[in-house]
């Protein structure tokens, strides 16, 4: 088992209390740490990653531009920087990251795989001024990238809604999108 398959378990205060295999964490719904980096464009769009069809959670759905587990010894920021390069090919620094908020764990069972995700999720925004075709697809994990107008995310209807991970339409992520929308007024 690779070291990256072992993750920290955290308590309700996001303090490290142990370690477990990623598989066990998702099987048992143990609380852990993740990051999301939401690329937004000057045109008011969010860039979503299209998850691979064989992902252990939410396969074949649109999700944050970048997402990943915080590995043992890493911070939320370091993970965001590392995952951004791995999943998009874009090299950023901590100064490029705009912290939005840390979402509290809410155990959610993936209907497709049965995995339970129960993580503190630190949300960052990043203003991406490049072309979506310049993003590098991480083979085996991502199918591609799609842009979507931020405004449309507040009123998704079926069947469009079914293209996204379920939490996209819930209040915590809707608040993240509202914060990103505010950032557009500052660019």
Q: How far apart are CA 52 and CA 61, in angstroms?
A: 8
Q: Where residue 116 falls among pLDDT bands split at 50, 70, 90?
A: confident
Q: How many domains does the chain have?
A: 1
Note the pLDDT tens digit of each residue in 153-186: 999 998 999 999 989 999 999 999 999 999 998 7
For residue 4, the model assigns a pLDDT of 62
Domain membership flag for residue 80: yes
Domain membership flag for residue 59: yes
Domain membership flag for residue 65: yes
What is this structure's pTM?
Answer: 0.92
Q: Is 78 exposed, middle or buried (0-12, 13-18, 19+ CB in 10 A)?
A: middle
Kind of pairing between the strands at 62-63 and 45-51:
antiparallel
- What does DSSP assign to residue 127? E
Domain membership flag for residue 152: yes
Determine the structural domain holding residue 54 and report its residue range.
3-177
- What does DSSP assign to residue 170? S
User: Could you tell me the CATH number of the domain that includes residue 141?
Assistant: 3.90.79.10
């Amino acid at each position: 088992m690779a070291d990256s398959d072992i993750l920290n378990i955290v308590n309700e205060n996001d303090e490290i209390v142990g370690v477990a295999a990623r598989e066990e964490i998702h099987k048992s719904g143990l609380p852990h740490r993740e990051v999301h980096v939401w690329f937004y464009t000057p045109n008011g769009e969010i860039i979503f990653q299209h998850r691979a069809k064989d992902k252990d959670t939410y396969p074949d759905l649109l999700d944050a531009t970048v997402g990943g587990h915080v590995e043992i010894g890493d911070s939320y920021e370091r993970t965001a920087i590392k995952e951004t390069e791995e999943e998009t090919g874009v090299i950023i620094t901590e100064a490029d990251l705009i912290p939005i908020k840390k979402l509290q764990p809410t155990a959610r069972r993936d209907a497709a795989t049965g995995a339970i995700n129960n993580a503190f999720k630190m949300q960052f925004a990043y203003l991406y001024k490049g072309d979506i075709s310049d993003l590098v697809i991480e083979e085996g994990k991502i199918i591609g990238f799609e842009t979507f107008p931020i405004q449309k995310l507040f009123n998704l209807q079926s069947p469009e809604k079914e293209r996204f991970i379920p939490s996209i339409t819930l209040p915590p992520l809707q608040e993240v999108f509202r914060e990103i929308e505010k950032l557009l007024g500052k660019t």
